[in-house]
Chain A
Amino acid sequence: MYPTHRSDDERLDALFRAYRTACPDRDPSTNFMPELWQRIEARQTFTFSFRRMANAFVTAGLALTVMLGVYMALPQKSSYYPVSYLQALADTNSPETPDIVGPVGLDFTDPGR
């Protein structure tokens, strides 16, 4: 401490001591304990509800994950061809397959004549 502040230091200490005397420990009101327990119970209820909600979300999330896993694991018809495009084209236009893309010749003569 600075020597010049010595007297102020002492005054301040005296002020703090006086403050301690002026603000003694105090007794609580009669509602203190009931209100405290009300608050504890309210917080417990909130925590319990929140925990239950969180558990429900976690359970739902897990169920969804399992369902998606099963769905993905099942063999299914897929538009995906495991062959090349050319191979697929060749299979589609095999010699046995009529060419439906070419010009169609129309015969207007009466076959009965």
Chain B
Amino acid sequence: MLVDFEVIKRAQGGDALAFNEIVLAYRKRILGTITRLIARQEDVEDVAQEVFLRLYFSLDQLRTAEVFEPWLYRLTVNAAYDYLRKQRRRQEYRMSDLSEQQVLMADAAAGGKVEHDEQQQKKVREAVDSLLGSVSEADRILLMLKEVEGLSLKELEKIYKVNENALKVRLFRARQRVLRAFGASGKQEVTG
């Protein structure tokens, strides 16, 4: 935990400074997670503010310290999911775009080493966003939390409030779909 439970308790009592402390402690991490979840940079702060807004108005429901972080993740996932539902981002990530992007990536890899670092990162982002377009928004977020955020199944269990086996099955199916899309896209080397 990045803050003491005492701080959370004070925030629950309406202490604005304590709430500020929570936001300052977690905003960077939440912004990073949202950046990876929604892939649209200009809206990241807006979604992050929505997360903390929801946190502010639901903080009094929190009873124990150990569920705070999964709970914050849950708010983040829900806010990202709501955002994606509104934006219908999936329409923009058609599989037809994938091959082209990966060809560009291969070209970038063949080009100069120095200048392509930033470009390469951009391509990686685009490639992963495109690949994850082959699964539903819910599975996309689940895969992202597991594979990119590095959350354990136990943590995901707390966030999604479903049992581990159900999560494993869902993750396996989602990963298989992504793997099929990955294989179909020509199996270009991405990471250089």
Q: State how many angstroms separate the Cβ of A24 from the closest Cβ of chain B.
A: 6
Instruction: Find B45's partner among A11, A29, A40 (CB 8 Å cutoff).
Output: A29
> What residues of chain A lie closer than 8 Å to B32, measured between beta carbons?
23-26
Q: Is A57 an interface residue (CB 8 A)?
A: no
A19 near B128 with CB under 8 A, answer yes
Instruction: Say yes or no: is A27 at the interface (Cβ < 8 Å to chain B).
Output: yes
Segment 47-61 of A: residues with Cβ below 8 Å from B? none
**Separation of A26 and B44 alpha carbons in the complex (Å):** 10
Tell me which of B44, B53, B120, B187 contacts A39 (CB under 8 A).
B53
The complex places the Cα of A8 from the Cα of B23 at a distance, in Å, of: 39
Give how many A-B residue pairs fall within 8 Å (CB-CB).
91
Contact of A20 among B23, B45, B52, B148 (CB under 8 A): B148
- In the complex, how many angstroms separate the beta carbon of B34 from the nearest chain A beta carbon? 9
Q: Is the CB of A8 within 8 A of B31?
A: no
Question: Complex Cα distance A5/B177, Å?
Answer: 12
CB neighbours (8 Å) of A8 from chain B are 179, 182-183, 187
Give the interface size bracket for B toward A.
35 or more
B191 x A32 contact (CB < 8 A): no
Classify the interface of chain A: helix, strand, loop or mixed: helix
User: Is A99 an interface position by the 8 A CB rule?
Assistant: no
Is A14 part of the contact surface with B, judged by Cβ < 8 Å? yes
Complex contact A25–B128 (CB within 8 A)? no
Contact of B187 among A11, A17, A19, A33 (CB under 8 A): A11
How extensive is the interface on chain A, given as a class? 20 to 34
Find out whether the CB atom of A15 lies under 8 angstroms from the CB atom of B127.
yes
Q: Is the CB of B27 within 8 A of A28?
A: yes
Q: List B19-41 residues whose CB lies under 8 Å from chain A.
A: 20, 23-24, 27-29, 31-32, 35-36
Q: Is B125 an interface residue (CB 8 A)?
A: yes
Q: How far is the CA of A93 from the CA of B175 in the complex (A)?
A: 96
Residues of A within 8 A of B127 (CB): 15
Q: Are A16 and B49 in contact (CB under 8 A)?
A: no
Binary CB contact string for chain B from 129 to 173 against chain A (1 if under 8 A, 0 otherwise): 001000000000000000111100000000000000000000000
Taking the closest CB of chain A, its distance from the CB of B181, in whole angstroms, is 10
Chain A contacts to B: CB under 8 angstroms: 5, 8-9, 11-29, 32-33, 35-36, 39-40, 43
